[in-house]
C-alpha cells in the first residue's frame, strides 16, 4: 500500500476537522421546498450537482491548483482562488469555504506541513496544497474531492429528508459509479469551457439564508 493512498484517505475523510458536516449547501432548503423528499429525488439532486456543478467547475479548478502548487506557482493559485471565491453566489457559501479554508490552514500548521499556502484562501486552495504536497495523482485527488463532497451531502440527506442508512449507501454506490467519468471529463476541460451555471443550486442556497428552521449553516 502506498503512502499516497493513505494520505488520500485521510484528506477525503469526514474526520478531517474542517466542519464540513455543518453545511448542506442548499440541500436543507431543497428538502424544505419539497424538491428533495425521498431517496430518488436525493439521488437526482446530489448527482446533478456532482456532474454539472462540481464536475465542470470545482474539479477542473482543483486540478489546475494542484498543478500550480506542484510547480511552485503560488501567485497562480491565488488568482484561481480569487476566481473561485467570486463564484460563491451567496453569503453562506462564501463564509463556508473561507471558514473551512481557515480550519484547514490551522490543521496544515498543526501537521507541520510546509505547503506554502497563505492565510485567507478558500478550502479548495488549502485542500489542493495538501494534495500536491502529498504527491497525489490528479485523478485520485479529484475522485477523493468529489467523493468527500458527495458523502457529506448524503450524510446531510440522512438527517433532513430523512433517509435510512441503507438508502444512503445505495445513493453513494450509484454516485461512486459516476465519479470516474466525471473526473475524466474534468481533466479534459480547459478553462474556457468550465462552468458552474446551476441556478437551482444558487436559489436553494439563497433561500436557505432566510429559512426559519434549520440544522445546517448553508
177: closest CA among 143, 148, 203, 201? 143
Domain spans of the chain, in order of start:
24-208
pLDDT computed for residue 1 by the predictor = 58
| Arithmetic mean of pLDDT, 194-199 | 92
What's the pLDDT tens digit per position in 47-102? 999 999 999 999 999 999 999 999 999 999 999 999 999 999 999 999 999 999 99
Q: Report the pLDDT averaged over residues 19-34.
A: 96
Average pLDDT over residues 192-217: 93
Sign of the dihedral through C-alpha 114, 115, 121, 127: negative
Least confident among 3-17, 160-174, 176-190? 3-17
Q: Structurally, what CATH architecture does the domain formed by 24-208 represent?
A: Orthogonal Bundle (1.10)
Q: For all residues of the chain together, what is the average pLDDT?
A: 95
Helix 123-133 to helix 74-86 angle (10° resolution) is 150
Amino acid at each position: 500500500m502506498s503512502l499516497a493512498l493513505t494520505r488520500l484517505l485521510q484528506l477525503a475523510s469526514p474526520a478531517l476537522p474542517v466542519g464540513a458536516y455543518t453545511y448542506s449547501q442548499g440541500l436543507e432548503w431543497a428538502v424544505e421546498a419539497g424538491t428533495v423528499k425521498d431517496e430518488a429525488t436525493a439521488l437526482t439532486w446530489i448527482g446533478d450537482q456532482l456532474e454539472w456543478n462540481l464536475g465542470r467547475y470545482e474539479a477542473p479548478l482543483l486540478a489546475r491548483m494542484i498543478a500550480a502548487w506542484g510547480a511552485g506557482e503560488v501567485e497562480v493559485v491565488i488568482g484561481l482562488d480569487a476566481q473561485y471565491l467570486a463564484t460563491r453566489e451567496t453569503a453562506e457559501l462564501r463564509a463556508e469555504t473561507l471558514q473551512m479554508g481557515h480550519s484547514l490552514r490551522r490543521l496544515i500548521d498543526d501537521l507541520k506541513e510546509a505547503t506554502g499556502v497563505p492565510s485567507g484562501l478558500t478550502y479548495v486552495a488549502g485542500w489542493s496544497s495538501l494534495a500536491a504536497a502529498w504527491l497525489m495523482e490528479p485523478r485520485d485527488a479529484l475522485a477523493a474531492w468529489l467523493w468527500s463532497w458527495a458523502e457529506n451531502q448524503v450524510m446531510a440527506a440522512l438527517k433532513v429528508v430523512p433517509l435510512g442508512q441503507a438508502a444512503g449507501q445505495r445513493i453513494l454506490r450509484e454516485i461512486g459509479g459516476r465519479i470516474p467519468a466525471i473526473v475524466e471529463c474534468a481533466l479534459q476541460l480547459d478553462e474556457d469551457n468550465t462552468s458552474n451555471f446551476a441556478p437551482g443550486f444558487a436559489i436553494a442556497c439563497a433561500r436557505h439564508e432566510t429559512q426559519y428552521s434549520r440544522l445546517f449553516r448553508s
